[in-house]
Amino acid sequence: MPVLQGIKARIDQALNLQDREFPALVLAFIYFFCLLGGYYILRPVRDQMGIAGGVENLQWLFTGTFVAMLCAVPAFGWLVARFPRRQFMPAVYRFFMVNLALFWLLFQWPEAEVHTARAFFIWVSVYNLFVISVFWSYMADIFTKQQGTRLFGAIAAGGTLGALTGPALTALLADSIGTVNLLLITAVLLEVAVFCIRRLARFDFRSAAEHGDGERESRPIGGNILAGATAFFRSPHLLGIGAFILLYTFTSTFLYFQQAEIIENAFDDPDRQTQVFAIIDLSVNLLTLGLQLFVTGRLLQWAGTRFGLTLLPVLSAIGFLGLAMSPGLIVLVGFQSLRRASNYAITRPSREVLFTAVPTEQRYKAKNFIDTVVYRGGDAFTGWLYSGLGALGLGLAGTALLAVPVALIWLFIGLWIGQRHDRQTEGQSRTAETPS
């Protein structure tokens, strides 16, 4: 016991933890570990299926994903409006567990393999954004803004560790139990996530700080199924976040298509293609884990949210300029690894802190609308735009150069919403400190 207490004390000191935060941090860490561990078991399979269907057809899969999102978001809004958090949170994850079981059955039917593969690509793209959006909504609903700045980096490290473990499990078990059976492991990890959700309900720091209690679990959030969309279009703060994510999506989709094209040109063997995707994932996640554990929390406390929101656009402008000058595999792997690591370790936690300053209904509904419909809508539009530019004869270098001014516009939007968020939270802090 003294050894464990000593380890806990060192963790508290390293992460600047305060009263009751350690067990909540551990549960959130495990929760996110399970989500990304399960996703990264599925991700290499999805990416290889995208190439197998032809890079020239990727825009159709992105469009299919967007349509699926348009159907899923109102259903989620209905769930949030009518059921308390302790009920709708587990329901979301168990719904996806049932989906995994259905895909497991469909993959036993070789005659429908092509159609199942396309449906699986779309489903994984929906699943990824949805479960992670719900996770960060829950984090922003439990932790205060000050806690988010300190803790979200360490919590995100749980996801990164899961992202390292998922591919390792795939490599270790795929031959012995079969790739299809790995879907069942993801389902088990989702059930562990549900266990963490139920335990995390005991640590509602935000409710205790704002209302003097921690009991919101038995009350539905209310509102209508389209409240997320209407709140988004009425709020300058949410519109700014949406524009930030839209430009992030634009640059991500451009880079994803360029990655697929470069890897397809470099390697004919599907196994070799999957291996390169895995190498990129591994390098990203190792770099991310180090940043999240030792840099993110203290850096964001020192440099602020604005730094976290402007770092990725700056790196993206430099990276796309590098690809325009030398559109090859080495530049691609370096740029993609640095960009994704910076996003997961610095920009994503900064972006999630923005939602600690909005009302509860917006944390779930508007955030989910932005993370899914806006995100995948940007994917679909950019996919068709990239294909159109290719048809006009604009090659890899030209499309990379086109992304540079987009990244600079993205930089100014990140600076604006960061400044707006800081002013808003400072005003809320002064109001809270004023004696009644």
Q: pLDDT for 234-248, tens place per residue?
A: 888 899 999 999 999
Q: What is the mean pLDDT of residues 289-303?
A: 74
Residue 81 falls inside a structural domain: yes
Residue 228 falls inside a structural domain: yes
Predicted local distance difference test score (pLDDT) of residue 169? 82
Assess whether pLDDT exceeds 90 at residue 191. Answer: yes
Q: Which of 364, 20, 30 is nearest to 194 (CA)?
A: 30
Length of the chain: 436
Using CA atoms, how far residue 67 sits from 29, 62, 187, 198, 377, in Å, is: 32, 9, 24, 32, 9
Residue 306 falls inside a structural domain: yes
Residue 434 falls inside a structural domain: no
Assess whether pLDDT exceeds 50 at residue 434. Answer: no
Predicted local distance difference test score (pLDDT) of residue 6? 61
The whole-angstrom separation of Cα 279 and Cα 275 is 6
Residue 432 falls inside a structural domain: no
Residue 7 falls inside a structural domain: no
| Total count of domains within the chain | 1
The counts of H helices and E strands in the chain are 19, 0
Residue 14 falls inside a structural domain: no
Q: What's the CATH code of the domain at 87?
A: 1.20.1250.20
Q: What is the mean pLDDT of residues 407-412?
A: 96
Q: By percentage, how much of the chain surpasses pLDDT 90?
A: 20
Predicted local distance difference test score (pLDDT) of residue 266? 80
The whole-angstrom separation of Cα 312 and Cα 410 is 9
Residue type, position 165, single letter: T
Predicted local distance difference test score (pLDDT) of residue 15? 60
Query: If you average pLDDT over each of 8-12, 90-94, 259-263, which comes out highest?
Result: 90-94
- Domain with 130 in it: 20-424
pLDDT in tens, 68-84: 877 877 888 788 778 88
Assess whether pLDDT exceeds 70 at residue 113. Answer: no
Query: If you average pLDDT over each of 98-102, 114-118, 212-216, which comes out highest?
Result: 98-102
What average pLDDT is seen over the chain? 81
Predicted local distance difference test score (pLDDT) of residue 30? 96
**Backbone φ, ψ for residue 84 (5° rounding):** -70, 165
The whole-angstrom separation of Cα 144 and Cα 206 is 5
Q: Which two tokens stand for residue 98?
A: 């049932």
Residue 312 banded pLDDT, cuts 50, 70, 90: very high
C-alpha triplet 339, 343, 349: angle, nearest 5°: 165
Identify whether the C-beta of residue 42 lies closer than 8 Å to the C-beta of residue 131.
no
Q: What is the mean pLDDT of residues 414-418?
A: 91
Residue 433 falls inside a structural domain: no
Assess whether pLDDT exceeds 80 at residue 400. Answer: yes
Identify whether the C-beta of residue 361 lies closer than 8 Å to the C-beta of residue 311.
no
pTM exceeding the 0.85 threshold for the entire prediction? no
